[in-house]
Structure 1
């Protein structure tokens, strides 16, 4: 593990669980800082804005900076980069913070009373505790009239101290129908890959991605030919490996073992 110079960490299930840090997460990041390693945080978190999430993690004691956090909003920006985002309006079935961040990024966010043609609207779905039936229904009506569906992340479940939370990918099953395949902008999508490459200026040599999801974390690493580390502290257990399609470079029970290995 010491041979890497660039470390990409997933958050939920890897460094945090619910509202708290997992054991040795803080110590691992601090150790890498002392060794002058470059650290990024690559998350599918669809609820809080990038700035709020950074501040919340800092309050938990994690050594993280705003520019090191890569979120699905950055994948969304990559998706719209070759398109004219001014000509596409967004209806967001998601959190208020995500709506505010999209507006700050120059997107036009509309409500259920929008007068635009549905074909010029994209429905953006992101899991949030305050998601309502009305938001889902308005999004579904727009899709039936030609609107595109964009998922901030495709994860089915999110780790939580009580078990698992229903995530965006599960909620999307309500909106999906045979003629409307959604666009996913979070890990492991091409758009999130581009966000990662942009952060690294295209150089991913001596890099490693550490996460708990075979689909999103190991998947994005394999797509970019980056070494991967699976930790079994979140959505994936060691027993699932016998049926796995995406295989990691190495497996650890948690970041505790990575910390012990790196600190020497």
Structure 2
């Protein structure tokens, strides 16, 4: 396997499953850091800010720095900056994600504080575990009044230790069915997430490797950006149809099987 200058990792299903670190993840990251490689983490999770993810991963023993993490929050920030008009956002997302976007300067209201008299320009949807039916209704009513639907990630489900849970892409499908309008997705593998990653790269794309468990987001984005890709079967693979063709430069069962560049394993 070729040696690279930058290694970009997905997180869920690649390094961890919920609160369990996958075997080999800590050792492989340590090996790369000892080799002075640039390491980035590009996740589609809509649940956490960079600070929250840093705290969680470090607590699990996976050392990361906040500046190394790219999330759909970064993609949303880029998207909003490119809008030509003033925006007002209804956020059907984790409250701390709302707070982070407010800190970045955006006019965003959490769906629990929905104001029926206000016309929102956008509804920003991201799965979170305390989402309620009334929040979904608030989003639909805003869309009916002309708001544009943004979905933080296209994933239909997320793998966990006990199986899988519904993710943002499935929730976005509810609104698409109701309105007949297609949502705009801003997480991996879209332009906005690609831009967020490119802004952090120190090396040419030809010297970068994207490592993840999703053929639909991780592998696709790596290919579209011109990177080599490495597919791991440790995440959503168990839920994929055997007929799905995985287009990746490399493929391994889990991270512990990735060979070290200098064969020092």
Equivalent pair of 1:157/1:170 in contact (CA under 8 Å): yes
Match of 2:19 in 1: 19
Equivalent pair of 1:151/1:172 in contact (CA under 8 Å): yes
Within 5 A, what are the aligned runs for 1:30-41?
30-41=30-41
Instruction: Report the alpha carbon displacement of residue 179 of structure 1 after superposing the two structures with TM.
Output: 3.7
The superposition leaves residues 140-192 of structure 1 with CA deviations (integer Å, 9 ceiling, x where unpaired) of 11111111011110101101000011111111111113542111111001110
Distance 2:220 2:134 in 1: 33
Instruction: Report the alpha carbon displacement of residue 236 of structure 1 after superposing the two structures with TM.
Output: 1.7
Q: Residue 248 of structure 2: SS of its match in structure 1?
A: coil
Instruction: Report the alpha carbon displacement of residue 68 of structure 1 after superposing the two structures with TM.
Output: 0.3
Structure 1 residue ranges without an equivalent (≥5):
none
Instruction: Report the alpha carbon displacement of residue 241 of structure 1 after superposing the two structures with TM.
Output: 6.0
Match of 1:101 in 2: 100
Equivalent pair of 2:125/2:168 in contact (CA under 8 Å): yes
Within 5 A, what are the aligned runs for 1:19-98?
19-84=19-84, 87-98=86-97
Instruction: Report the alpha carbon displacement of residue 202 of structure 1 after superposing the two structures with TM.
Output: 7.7
Equivalent pair of 1:229/1:249 in contact (CA under 8 Å): yes
Distance 1:213 1:220 in 2: 10
Residue correspondences, number: 260
Within 5 A, what are the aligned runs for 1:180-191?
180-191=181-192
Instruction: Report the alpha carbon displacement of residue 112 of structure 1 after superposing the two structures with TM.
Output: 1.1
User: Once superposed, what is the RMSD of the aligned Cα atoms?
Assistant: 1.9
The superposition leaves residues 72-91 of structure 1 with CA deviations (integer Å, 9 ceiling, x where unpaired) of 01011121222257x10110
Instruction: Report the alpha carbon displacement of residue 105 of structure 1 after superposing the two structures with TM.
Output: 1.1
Match of 2:212 in 1: 211
Instruction: Report the alpha carbon displacement of residue 16 of structure 1 after superposing the two structures with TM.
Output: 0.4
Distance 1:55 1:227 in 2: 29
Equivalent pair of 2:77/2:101 in contact (CA under 8 Å): no
Distance 1:31 1:92 in 2: 39
Equivalent pair of 1:47/1:95 in contact (CA under 8 Å): yes
The superposition leaves residues 75-125 of structure 1 with CA deviations (integer Å, 9 ceiling, x where unpaired) of 11121222257x10110111111111111111111231164324xx21011
Q: Residue 54 of structure 2: SS of its match in structure 1?
A: helix
Within 5 A, what are the aligned runs for 1:131-150?
131-150=131-150
Q: Residue 154 of structure 2: SS of its match in structure 1?
A: coil
The superposition leaves residues 184-221 of structure 1 with CA deviations (integer Å, 9 ceiling, x where unpaired) of 11100111011111111683231000000000100100
Instruction: Report the alpha carbon displacement of residue 226 of structure 1 after superposing the two structures with TM.
Output: 0.6
Q: Residue 205 of structure 1: SS of its match in structure 2?
A: helix
Match of 2:124 in 1: 124
Structure 2 residue ranges without an equivalent (≥5):
none
